[in-house]
Amino acid sequence: MTAFQASSPPTGSALLGAVHEQAAPAARCQFPAALPESPAAPQESAVTLFREHPLLLDCGRPLSNVRVAYHTYGEVRREAVLVTHALTGTSAVHEWWPALFGPGKALDPQREFIVCSNVLGGCAGSSGPAELALELGAEAPLTLRDMVAVQRELLRHLGVERVAVVGGSMGGMQVYEWLRSYPDLVSRAVVIGAPARHSPWATGLNVVARNAIRLAPGGEGLKVARQMAMLSYRSPESFAATQSGRSTTRPGQAAIATYLEYQGEKLQARFCERSYCALTEAMDAFSLSDAELRAIHAPVLVVGISSDVLYPESEVRAHAELLPNARYWQLDSPHGHDAFLMDAVDLEAQVRGFLNP
């Protein structure tokens, strides 16, 4: 197995403070030695930002020495496509979004310079809640604006001056934050299955998930949180088609029961409960006003999902209608919120056409 080494930033790129770049932790993601060494091959790196000039968080606290784990794909250019990941996602776009990633597809590393970083507060290589508490001296709430500010500094480090931003779910909310915080840097944007502000319904689901984690720390609560989230990520039609009847692995149990147990155990093995709480709290605090939406003038493709029960299509469309330069498209699928990952053939064509007019 060959771990990809960190690449140096382009000569002459402007920095807001000194940075330190290093190879990404080998345990995170490795690739077969047979993978061809080409400019389009995934490059996994980590860099420490804000070493001299701190990041001022939304809560008013200064934060220094932020480690960011990220992937890049394609030749370094001044214009890039930034992919922003969902709640439990990682920077390895080629692994979790194969329907959109690859030669000839919407995210083509042979055509574009593509960047994706693990969010601040995540647990896939970037500075997580425990490290942030040590650096700040206490727990401090994170916001999506904080996460996007770190992404902005990473792009500055890489020499990127203009960006198209693409994301689904929590990633789509980050796209909205990019449009609010850095409108002059965004050439175009794609928001998939995401609202411009968190509803009481979506917030309530997160509140119950965090309560489960706090009542049963050590991993058991995280399992329950994931099981509940999975119910909101799919739809009744999707589960009727895929999880009807009895389990084939545990006689006497319902298929849906063993499916949810499996999903909970899988997330517990790879995710951090403190990250889950920090990121869901940031999502719950996220809100763009109608006036802020009307002030966004970049071209935006907004995608709603017909069977989404977490972020209903009507909610996503209503926010899109406030954008002066938006195109709305509905992904018709029975698979609920997760359709942007599970049922993305038509989505790929829409995103590809929008990014390459």
Give the C-alpha separation, 275 to 2, whole Å: 28
| Structure tokens that stand for 83 in this block | 């992919």
Token look-up 């995934």 returns 42
Single-letter residue type at 29: C
Choose the CATH number for 200-282 among 3.40.50.1100, 1.10.260.40, 2.60.130.10, 1.10.1740.110.
1.10.1740.110
Beta-carbon contacts of 4 under 8 Å, excluding residues fewer than 6 positions away, are 23, 24, 31, 41, 42, 43, 44, 45
Q: Do 326 and 303 contact (CB within 8 A), yes or no?
A: no
- What span, in angstroms and rounded, lies between the C-alpha atoms of 308 and 331? 10
Q: Tell me the pLDDT of the chain (357 aa) as tens digits.
A: 323 223 333 333 332 333 344 434 333 333 333 334 566 689 999 999 999 999 999 999 999 999 999 999 999 999 999 999 999 999 999 999 999 999 999 999 999 999 999 999 999 999 999 999 988 878 889 999 999 999 999 999 999 999 999 999 999 999 999 999 999 999 999 999 999 999 999 999 999 999 999 999 999 999 999 999 999 999 999 999 999 998 888 888 999 999 999 999 999 999 999 999 999 999 999 999 999 999 999 999 999 999 999 999 999 999 999 999 999 999 999 999 999 999 999 999 999 999 998
Cβ-based neighbour number of residue 159 at 10 Å? 18
DSSP states of 175-240 as a string? HHHHHHH-GGGEEEEEEES--SB--HHHHHHHHHHHHHHHHSTTTHHHHHHHHHHHHHHS-HHHHH
Report residue 223 as tokens: 């399992």
Mutual angle of helices 273-285 and 200-215, in 10-degree steps: 160
Structure tokens at 103: 């030669």
Give CA–CA dist 140/152, Å, rounded.
21
Residue 303 pairs with which residues in a beta bridge?
A: 192, 329
Beta-ladder partners of 347: none
- Give φ, ψ of 97 to 5 degrees: -135, 55
- Cα gap 343→98, rounded to integer Å: 11
The reply to whether 346 belongs to the active site is no
The pLDDT value given to residue 38: 63
Tokens standing for 45?
């790196």
Active site residue 169: yes
Residue 18 CA from chain centroid, whole number: 26
Q: Are 330 and 357 in contact (CB under 8 A)?
A: no
- Residue 58's identity, in one-letter code, is D
| Inter-residue contact 58 to 43 (CB < 8 Å) | no
Instruction: Provide the sign of the torsion angle of the four alpha carbons 57, 59, 64, 68, taken in this order.
Output: negative
Say if CB 193 and CB 174 are below 8 A apart: no
H-helix or E-strand spanning residue 311 = none
Q: What integer pLDDT is reported at residue 39 of this predicted model?
A: 61
| Candidate list 275, 319, 337, 343, residue with the active-site label | 337
Q: 202, 308 in Cβ contact below 8 A?
A: no
> Which of 308, 319, 335, 343 is an active site residue?
308
Task: State how far the Cα of 184 lies from the Cα of 178, in Å rounded to an integer.
Answer: 10
CA–CA distance, 91 with 123 (Å, rounded to integer): 11
Active-site annotation holder among 45, 117, 127, 169: 169
Q: Where are the domains of the chain?
A: 20-197+287-355, 200-282
Contact 121, 275 (CB under 8 A): yes
Residue 71 known to be catalytic:
no
Radius of gyration of the chain (CA): 20
What does DSSP say about strands 62-63 and 186-192: parallel, antiparallel, or unpaired? Answer: unpaired
CATH number corresponding to 20-197+287-355: 3.40.50.1820
What global pTM score does this model have?
0.89
Q: Tell me the three state secondary structure of residue 350.
A: helix
